[in-house]
A = this chain, B = another copy of it.
């Protein structure tokens, strides 16, 4: 098995786009035809997301299921999430499980084992507030499976700065300290592409911070949420990339999943078109990723 960072680089280069499709199913946005046929949300999520996976698999390298929407559907939701992750894998997609889990010691290990051993994802998101010893079980479990961990550094929400922008005595912000820690952990295990297996979540809605962090963390893959529906533009995400076009995957959830009115018959075509559009928007705006 190849190092996570190299797998990600190869996949992004092969598909020639850093676009990541977020699987955030929402009942009220699903096609009416699916809601009528599958009145149980978990079943409707499964049918819808399976189609999304089939549509986007030829176009993008990575998908990011959001655990919350499946957790909301209880045990049935969990079963669906597991099947979707297997399906994504069988379609050749890399998977980033977005759960923002965090805890200490053996409890963190239990979350890590759920992600990397039970669900066999390629990477998961983790909240770093508890410190290195709490992140360690995730790193250790990920490294045992050549997987990766994305730590929240600068989130995409409008109020992200409340604690992340506290200015520390040394003049740096809290999010810069977290970023520096992520960089040092990433350097512990670099792939051939020059990136490590520890990445950073940095919101597209903060292009200034994105540039600052790109410069400060050259070996760190970024997972960039906030593109599209949350307001981040192709121009905003440009600073996330290294000169060769690698270094970031840019997530779009609602913009890809729900570009249609629920009554539309052609929702599948609309998803495909929205995916092409997002890919083109990013291509027009930065040097294309060079195929291998």
Q: Interface residues, chain A, CB within 8 Å of chain B?
A: 24, 26, 66, 68-69, 71-72, 74-76, 78-79, 82, 100-108, 110-111, 113-114, 118, 127-134, 152, 155-164, 166-169, 174, 177-178, 181
Contact = CB atoms under 8 A, between A and B. Distances in A.
Given A71-B111, A72-B113, A118-B72, A129 B181 contact: no
Nearest to A128: B163
B161 A131 contact: yes
29 contacts: A26-B106, A66-B103, A66-B107, A68-B103, A68-B108, A68-B110, A71-B110, A71-B111, A71-B114, A74-B118, A75-B75, A75-B78, A75-B79, A100-B101, A100-B127, A104-B156, A104-B157, A105-B157, A127-B129, A129-B152, A129-B164, A130-B160, A131-B163, A133-B158, A134-B157, A162-B181, A166-B166, A166-B174, A168-B168
Nearest to A118: B74
A130 B104 contact: no
Contact of A104 (B75, B104, B155, B168): B155
A155 B105 CA distance: 12
A78 B71 CA distance: 9
Contacts of A106: 26
A281 B102 CA distance: 30
Contacts of A158: 133
A69 B110 contact: yes
A168 B162 CA distance: 13
Nearest to A66: B107
Contacts of A134: 155, 157, 159-160
Given A75-B79, A107-B66, A160 B174 contact: no
A104 B204 CA distance: 14
Contacts of A104: 155-157
B163 A177 contact: yes
Contact of A82 (B75, B100, B102): B75
Contacts of A163: 128-129, 131, 174, 177-178, 181
B78 A132 contact: no
Nearest to A177: B166
A171 to B, nearest CB: 8
Contacts of A105: 157
A159 B68 CA distance: 28
Contact of A160 (B131, B155, B166, B177): B131
Residue among A105, A134, A166 having the largest count of chain B Cβ atoms under 10 Å = A166
